Amino acid sequence: MTTGTNARHTMTDKQFGELRKIIYTRSGIHFPDGKKYVLESRLGHRLAELELEDFDQYIAFLTMGPYQTDEFQEMFNRITINETSFFRNEPQLEIFEKEALPRIIEARRSTTKRIRIWSAACSTGEEPYTLAILLHRSLGVRLMDWHVEILGTDISEKALTTAAEARYTDYAMRTTPALVRQRYFTQDGPYWNLQPSIRSMVNFELHNLKDRLAAKRHGHWDIIFCRNVMIYFDDTMKQQVLRMFADQLADNGYLFIGHSETIRASDAPFEPLPIPQGFCYQKARLGRAAA
Ligand SMILES: C[S@@+](CC[C@H](N)C(=O)[O-])C[C@H]1O[C@@H](n2cnc3c(N)ncnc32)[C@H](O)[C@@H]1O
């Protein structure tokens, strides 16, 4: 097989089976039968860059020797789907802004004045920045009296690098209301730069949703957003992640999931908010787990 950058590397079914097992074990991302072409095309270029002859060599490179950690990172940068946008699914964000936030603000107003929000699997940052904008809008000048923490995490280091830059193209802005664009961004040629005051409200960190211990280190969150990632997981991984979210949510904390995702099959203690299009769950008190 040739190894130039235009080389076409073919993946055998056996190689696909091995690779998807390795990927699943590390990340919970499940590549179903029929998705071989995705791995083949996304990793084919990598083989060419590394001047490897075939996927057997790549699997060896990935699993043995001193480069494996770096290569796993490189692989996740390439195989993850980072599709997102500012103000994605507005009806759901309205529930965040009009239901969840006011309740938390009311509960903390005369106590800790602390709000902690985790955007898990945040991709290139549009989701946590959207939440920061909404929080800024809700609290206004009162924001300075509050201790707000918003953390965006993802398994893709490449996506997080983009997030930290806070500089976006029209594509990222496609679902953003015009007023928000005017108020919170400055245009710079083809880019939209997010206002530094919003940028500074969000921290980013590399995190694999398989890593329960790292999640534990962060303590309890009032709100967790984890949208449009569980679709890539199988039921076992989904269950693990949902239990971890239940552990890491404060009592009465809120979990927002993607509109095409469901947590029905999980035994994690969440109760759905009775709001259509909400895709929002509240952590149930002990002994009141949702069916
Ligand atoms: C489609 S994006 C969703 C972004 C955002 N939450 C949204 O809904 O707009 C899915 C993200 O999940 C991340 N991801 C996939 N598996 C992950 C894992 N095991 N741990 C952390 N992030 C993961 C991917 O890197 C990708 O950025």
Nearest to 89 by CA among 285, 286, 287, 279: 279
Residue 291 lies in a domain: no
User: Domain check: are 70 and 107 in the same one?
Assistant: no
User: Domain check: are 24 and 124 in the same one?
Assistant: no
User: Domain check: are 152 and 187 in the same one?
Assistant: yes
CA 207 to ligand 1: nearest atom: 21
Q: What is the pLDDT of residue 286?
A: 58
User: Measured in angstroms, how far is the CA atom of residue 229 from the centroid of ligand 1?
Assistant: 5
The pair of structure tokens assigned to 232 is: 């890539």
Annotated catalytic residues are: 42, 154
User: Domain check: are 96 and 155 in the same one?
Assistant: yes
User: Domain check: are 65 and 100 in the same one?
Assistant: no
Cβ of 95 below 6 Å from ligand 1: no
User: Domain check: are 46 and 117 in the same one?
Assistant: no
The pair of structure tokens assigned to 77 is: 């940068």
Residue whose Cα lies nearest atom 27 of ligand 1: it is 123
Q: What is the pLDDT of residue 3?
A: 42
User: Domain check: are 257 and 234 in the same one?
Assistant: yes
Contacts of 28 (CB under 8 A, 6+ apart): 209, 210, 232, 233, 234, 237, 240, 241
Instruction: Tell me which DSSP letter residue 99 carries.
Output: I
Of 41, 58, 79, the one marking the end of a domain is: 79
Q: What is the pLDDT of residue 1?
A: 42
CATH number of the domain to which 164 belongs? 3.40.50.150
User: Measured in angstroms, how far is the CA atom of residue 84 from the centroid of ligand 1?
Assistant: 9
CATH number of the domain to which 65 belongs? 1.10.155.10
User: Domain check: are 166 and 206 in the same one?
Assistant: yes
- Number of structural domains (the chain) is 2
Cβ of 124 below 6 Å from ligand 1: no
Residue 203 lies in a domain: yes
Cβ of 84 below 6 Å from ligand 1: yes
Residue holding tokens 């969150």?
221
Instruction: Tell me which DSSP letter residue 214 carries.
Output: H
User: Domain check: are 138 and 271 in the same one?
Assistant: yes
Residue whose Cα lies nearest atom 24 of ligand 1: it is 80
User: Measured in angstroms, how far is the CA atom of residue 173 from the centroid of ligand 1?
Assistant: 18
Residue 239 lies in a domain: yes
Instruction: Tell me which DSSP letter residue 285 carries.
Output: P
Cβ atoms of 67 and 58 closer than 8 Å: no
Q: What is the pLDDT of residue 265?
A: 83
Cβ of 210 below 6 Å from ligand 1: yes
Cβ of 238 below 6 Å from ligand 1: no
CA 124 to ligand 1: nearest atom: 27
Residue 126 lies in a domain: yes
| Percent helix, percent strand, percent coil in the chain, to nearest 5 | 45, 20, 35
> Given ligand 1 and candidates 24, 27, 80, which is best to mutate, with the most ligand atoms within 8 Å of its CB?
80
Q: What is the pLDDT of residue 291?
A: 33
Of 57, 79, 101, the one marking the end of a domain is: 79
40 CA to centre of own chain: 24
User: Domain check: are 151 and 70 in the same one?
Assistant: no
Residue whose Cα lies nearest atom 10 of ligand 1: it is 229
Q: What is the pLDDT of residue 2?
A: 41
User: Measured in angstroms, how far is the CA atom of residue 123 from the centroid of ligand 1?
Assistant: 5
Q: What is the pLDDT of residue 7?
A: 53
User: Domain check: are 75 and 94 in the same one?
Assistant: no
Residue 8 lies in a domain: no
Q: For the chain, list residues with pLDDT below 50.
A: 1-6, 287-291
Residues 50-63 have pLDDT tens digits of 999 999 999 999 99
User: Measured in angstroms, how far is the CA atom of residue 37 from the centroid of ligand 1?
Assistant: 20
Cβ of 159 below 6 Å from ligand 1: yes
Domain that residue 65 falls in: 13-79
Of 41, 59, 79, the one marking the end of a domain is: 79
User: Domain check: are 113 and 173 in the same one?
Assistant: yes
Residues 127-179 have pLDDT tens digits of 999 999 999 999 999 999 999 999 999 999 999 999 999 999 999 999 999 99
Residue 1 lies in a domain: no
